[in-house]
Amino acid sequence: MLRKSGIRLLAATALIGWGTVIVPGAHAQGAGGNAGWFVPKAVQPPAHAPQHEAPAPVALPAAPADSEDAQPQNPPILPVPPVPKAPDVPKSAPPPAPVIGVISVPEVMRLSTAAQQAERVLGARRDDLAREAQKEQAGWRDEQQKLQGQAKTMSSDQIQTSERKLQERVIAAQKDFRNRNRIIQEAAQVSLGQIERELVQIIRQLAASRGMNLVLHREQVALSQESLDITQQVATQLNAVLPTVFIPAANVDPEVLAKSGTMPTTADADKPAPAAPAKH
C-alpha cells in the first residue's frame, strides 16, 4: 500500500520555487502550519522597531559540598511487577513476494504542467507582496527620519502623537501583509492538494497495471534498474488527467471560499452536485 504522507512531503518539497514573504515585524510561525512548503524571502525589519533580547538564563547557586544534594546518590530500587507471557501467534499465510517499483515525486512535480501553473501564478503574487512590503517599509523609515528632524520644533505631546500615528500605521500594515501572505500560502495548499490527490491515484493505478505491490522513493534507493522507474509514466498520466488546477483568485480568501461551499477543490470532489431548482 502506498503511503500518502510520504508523497505529500516530497510533493511539497519539490515545489522549490514557491515561497513566502516575511512581513516586517511578523513573528515566525510554528511547525504545525505549512512549514515544509515555503522558502522565506528575507525582508529587513523596520529601523525603528525595538529589538527585544531574550533574557539571560539565571544560574542556580551550587549546592554546598556537605549538603545531601551534592553527595552522589545510588539509583533507586523500584518494584518490578511480573509481565504476563505473550501467547503464541498462530501461523498465517506469508505476504506476497515484493514486486518493486521506484518513483521520483520531485521530478514528477517538475514535469507537472499543473504544478508549473501554480508556481508561476503564486510566485508572481508572492513577488508583488514582497515589493509592496519593502516599499511600505521604506515609507516607515522616511516618516521616522522626518519626525526626528522636526522633533526640536515640536512639543512632547506633538512628538508622542506623531509617534503613535506612525506606530498605528506600522501595526496596521503588518497585519495586512500577514493576512495577504496567509492567503497566498493557503492558495498554494489548495493547488498542491489537487495535485497530490490525483498523484496518489495515478501511482496506484500504474503500479497495479505493472503488478507492483511496493513502490519506493527513488531518492532513497541506492541502485535500481531503469525498467523499475515509473516516474515518466506517472508524469505523463498526471499531465493528461490534470493539466491545470483551480487557484483561488488573488483577492479571495481560501478559508472564506471554503466555508461558502462553492470552492471546486479536492475537498468537494466526492460531494454530489447540488440539484438544479425545479422550474414552475
DSSP 86-130: PPPPPP-PPPPPP-EEEE-HHHHHHH-HHHHHHHHHHHHHHHHHH
Q: Is the pTM above the cut of 0.85?
A: no
**Of 107, 144, 42, 48, nearest in space to 238 by CA:** 107
- Residue for grid cell 522626518: 146
pLDDT of residue 10: 54
How much is the pLDDT for 238?
A: 97
CA torsion 223→225→231→236, rounded to 10°?
Answer: 160
Tens place of pLDDT per residue across the chain (280 aa): 455 555 555 555 454 344 444 444 444 344 344 333 333 343 344 444 444 444 444 444 444 555 555 566 788 888 889 999 999 999 999 999 999 999 999 999 999 999 999 999 999 999 999 999 999 999 999 999 988 888 888 888 998 999 999 999 999 999 999 999 999 999 999 999 999 999 999 999 999 999 999 999 999 999 999 999 999 999 999 999 999 999 999 989 999 988 887 766 444 444 444 454 454 4
CA distances from 51 to 48, 65, 112, 202, 210 (A): 9, 42, 44, 51, 60
Residue 156, judged by CB atoms within 10 A of its CB (0-12, 13-18, 19+), counts as exposed
d(CA 242, CA 119): 15
Residues sharing a CB contact under 8 Å with residue 124, sequence separation 6 or more, in sequence order: none
Where do the H-state alpha helices sit in the chain? 4-14, 105-111, 113-150, 156-209, 231-241, 254-260
Query: 3-class SS at 159?
Result: helix
Q: Which of 114, 76, 142, 127 shows the shortest CA–CA distance to 199?
A: 114
